[in-house]
Structure 1
Amino acid sequence: MTDSAPASPFDFTEEEIEAARVLFQRQATFVMGAAKLEQLPEPDLPEIAFAGRSNVGKSSLINGLVGMNKLARASNEPGRTREVNFFDLDGKMRLVDLPGYGWAKASKTTVKKFQDLGRDYLRGRVTLKRVYLLIDSRHGLKSVDTEALDALDLAAVSYQIVLTKADKIKAHERVSVAEKTLKAISKRPAAFPAVAVTSSEKGFGLPELRAEIMRTTGAEL
């Protein structure tokens, strides 16, 4: 395995990378967890959301983006994120952690309740700028991810694939899985035509993802 950073699919200037670094170093705080649609905070800030299978690394990615170890709670217990969790970044935007899917041990009733909450959020959130769908780079897109892709297309919400844990595979494998993933989503109507390759543990891919989020939300310092 190698820890060298993969090439980025994004075209950012050094100034954009630096501005995003400064923005994401500002104070990030947990706002609330919503278990019902009516509990959501007022849609008064641009939001970007993170979705993915349980244990794909959503909490680690959020923590890595803001440079904090415990902002989002990571857990070894699949399916622990059963609310829509909101984090405020210096009053500029909200980062939203959606309930995970693919739970092995949760009841069907529980799964449906929290997946429906996520879908309701996606359909009705006017300030939602993009969803980042996290996929474990070691495994690529699986059949269980198809339902999430379909739901995002149906909601007509712009979404982008983020490959996580890319430090766990070799450089040529990163290129291969990114190419296969991009091809798999190429005809999906709401998919953003680029795949981010990241490692929360090693930090690569995060500077470009911060810049992409900053650009997407229109947030300014």
Structure 2
Amino acid sequence: MQAAKELSATLFSKPWVFIRGVPSLKFLPPEGPPEIAFAGRSNVGKSSLINALVGVNGLARTSNTPGRTQELNYFVPSGYSGDEGDLPPMALVDMPGYGYAKAPKDQVDLWTKLVFDYMRGRSTLKRVYLLIDSRHGLKKNDEGVMDLLDKAAMSYQVVLTKTDKIKAAGVPRLISETLSALKRRPAAYPEVIATSSEKGEGISELRTAIALAITL
């Protein structure tokens, strides 16, 4: 764990940059460094969490409009050419949100296929962090994503977002309830991280978890 903390300090002390938006799988960058992806319902706070992780306000675009992120958005530490032998140590991937009912069905289907095909077929993807809004808890469409991840044997870990929006006493209870729901999930990592991008809570713990995941 100490090694993971030291690695996380190195990874997240560097400036990060956006390198590519991927509207379909044919535009994915070549497989190389380990990737960590963030999944969650529309407006769950993925972009805000990524900005908090890398310490760069506005790097991942945030919006109050659900469904704005429509591509796989790649972020890496800056200073790498992308040439063979000069690849970044890892990449963060902000995936389109799911469960946005007001978008046209054909558009939703395209987003969904892109995300699910990526999660099933990317060998360098080390872990998916499944973001759950603390105000709402696990929903049916979250369970559908977990079904897919379990079937694909894709390691994932639940991250609670926006914990500053609920009473502090409710956070431990929500963590316990979420862990109970994950017990029957074979691909779920048996720890839940509670975060608040606005308050900076849980960010250090998530950074360490990511560093550990890319070294496994």
TM-score (norm 2): 0.91
1:78 lines up with 2:75 in the alignment: no
Gaps spanning 5+ residues in structure 1: where? Answer: 1-11
Three-state SS of the structure 2 residue aligned to 1:204 is coil
- For 2:85, the equivalent position in structure 1 comes to none
Question: How far does residue 16 in structure 1 lie from its aligned partner after superposition?
Answer: 4.5
Residue 49 (structure 1) aligned to one of 34, 37, 47: 37
1:104 lines up with 2:101 in the alignment: yes
1:167 lines up with 2:161 in the alignment: no
Residue 58 (structure 1) aligned to one of 30, 46, 63: 46
1:178 and 1:197 in contact (8 A); partners too:
yes
AA paired with 1:216? A
Question: How far does residue 194 in structure 1 lie from its aligned partner after superposition?
Answer: 0.6
2:157 and 2:192 in contact (8 A); partners too:
yes
Question: How far does residue 150 in structure 1 lie from its aligned partner after superposition?
Answer: 1.2
Note the alpha carbon deviations across 1:101-147, whole angstroms, 9 max, x for none.
11121011111111001111011101000000000111110122111
2:98 and 2:112 in contact (8 A); partners too:
yes
1:78 and 1:104 in contact (8 A); partners too:
no
Structure 1 ranges of 4+ moved more than 2 A: 15-19
- For 2:135, the equivalent position in structure 1 comes to 138
- For 1:69, the equivalent position in structure 2 comes to 57
- For 1:94, the equivalent position in structure 2 comes to 91
Alpha-carbon spacing, 1:188–1:86, altered in 2? closer, same or farther (3 Å): same
Question: How far does residue 171 in structure 1 lie from its aligned partner after superposition?
Answer: 2.2
1:45 and 1:93 in contact (8 A); partners too:
yes
Three-state SS of the structure 2 residue aligned to 1:193 is coil
- For 1:38, the equivalent position in structure 2 comes to 26
Gaps spanning 5+ residues in structure 2: where? Answer: 79-87
Note the alpha carbon deviations across 1:175-210, whole angstroms, 9 max, x for none.
011110111111111111110001111111110110
2:15 and 2:56 in contact (8 A); partners too:
no
- For 2:124, the equivalent position in structure 1 comes to 127
2:149 and 2:155 in contact (8 A); partners too:
yes
Three-state SS of the structure 1 residue aligned to 2:65 is coil
Question: How far does residue 148 in structure 1 lie from its aligned partner after superposition?
Answer: 1.2
- For 1:201, the equivalent position in structure 2 comes to 198
Aligned residues: 207
Q: CA–CA distance in 1 between the matches of 2:105 and 2:147?
A: 19
- For 1:157, the equivalent position in structure 2 comes to 154
TM-score (norm 1): 0.89
Q: CA–CA distance in 1 between the matches of 2:66 and 2:170?
A: 26
Percent identity over the alignment? 56
Q: CA–CA distance in 1 between the matches of 2:4 and 2:30?
A: 29
- For 1:9, the equivalent position in structure 2 comes to none
Q: CA–CA distance in 2 between the matches of 1:175 and 1:191?
A: 19
Taking only aligned residues, the RMSD between alpha carbons, in angstroms, comes to: 1.5
Q: CA–CA distance in 1 between the matches of 2:120 and 2:204?
A: 29
AA paired with 1:175? P
Q: CA–CA distance in 2 between the matches of 1:86 and 1:167?
A: 27
